[in-house]
Amino acid sequence: MTISALSFPARLTQMQAVVDGFPADLCTVDVAKNSVELRVESGLYPLGALYGAAYIFIDRCYVLLGRPDAAHLSVSLAWKKGTPDEVALRELAGEFMNELLSCAWRAKISEESRSIIEAVTAQAFAGAMGAPSLDDLEKFDFSDGAFEDPLGIAMSWEDKYGKKKSGAAPSDGATPPSAEAPPPETPGGAKPEAT
């Protein structure tokens, strides 16, 4: 006796039956052997997803994975205990395919968000290392040129909205007011008294 789930015959044997709702070339049920055989495209379902789905079923079934050709993967699910009827085997096949689809989708999401997760993790580890020491700061290379700021976003508030400085001294020779200069006279002509 040989477990030959890795090869799918072109013509089904008498013991094998097509499952309702499944394409005939993708899923067959062998009631005599209490097993379901599935064939999936490796382009649609990566091997990692197949591992994930198969792992969930190894407590209920004997799971045997195969690769009949480069473009396909095969799954043989053999019932462990008891003798299931065709309906139970159909449910098993459907449940497995749903789980496989779920695993494939999760694998795709994980692949797409891998770079984000790595960046966040790297930042978290960098923060956990603590503040840099004085030696680290001393060795830090500040010679890098300033970053480009074509929109002037990096300009400070004082530079942008502060009072404009008078660029050059007045040309008529007048000296700028200083703190030591006498206070201006009041409109009535009287000087304010010191308190």
Partner 1 sequence: MIALRLHRHIYRGASVDEAVKIFTSYGTFERKEEPESWLVEVTTDDPQRERRIAGELANYALGLTVKAGGVDPKATAST
Footprint of partner 1 on this chain (CB under 8 A)? Answer: 1-4, 6, 47-48, 51-52, 54-55, 58, 62-67, 73, 78, 80
Which residue, 19 or 75, is less far from partner 1 as judged by CB?
Answer: 75
Cβ proximity to partner 1, 22 vs 62, nearer residue: 62
What is the closest distance, in whole angstroms, from the C-beta atom of residue 80 to partner 1 in the complex? 7
Smallest gap from Cβ 82 to partner 1, in A, equals: 13
C-alpha 65/C-alpha 68 separation (Å) is: 10
In this structure, how many other beta carbons lie within 10 angstroms of the beta carbon of residue 89? 22
| Torsion angle of C-alpha atoms 108, 109, 110, 113, degrees rounded to 10 | 120
Say whether 67 sits in a helix, a strand or coil.
strand
Nearer to partner 1, 51 or 105 (CB): 51
Query: CB of residue 56 vs partner 1: minimum separation in angstroms?
Result: 11
CB of 79 to partner 1, least distance (A): 10
CB atoms within 10 A of CB 50: 23
**Phi, psi of 133, rounded to the nearest 5 degrees:** -80, 170
Please identify, using beta-carbon distances, which residue of 55 and 140 lies nearer to partner 1.
55
In angstroms, the CA 79 to CA 29 distance is 11
Distance between CA atoms of residues 45 and 101, nearest Å: 7
Which one, 1 or 151, has the nearer CB to partner 1? 1
CB of 75 to partner 1, least distance (A): 10
Q: How far apart are CA 102 and CA 94, in angstroms?
A: 12
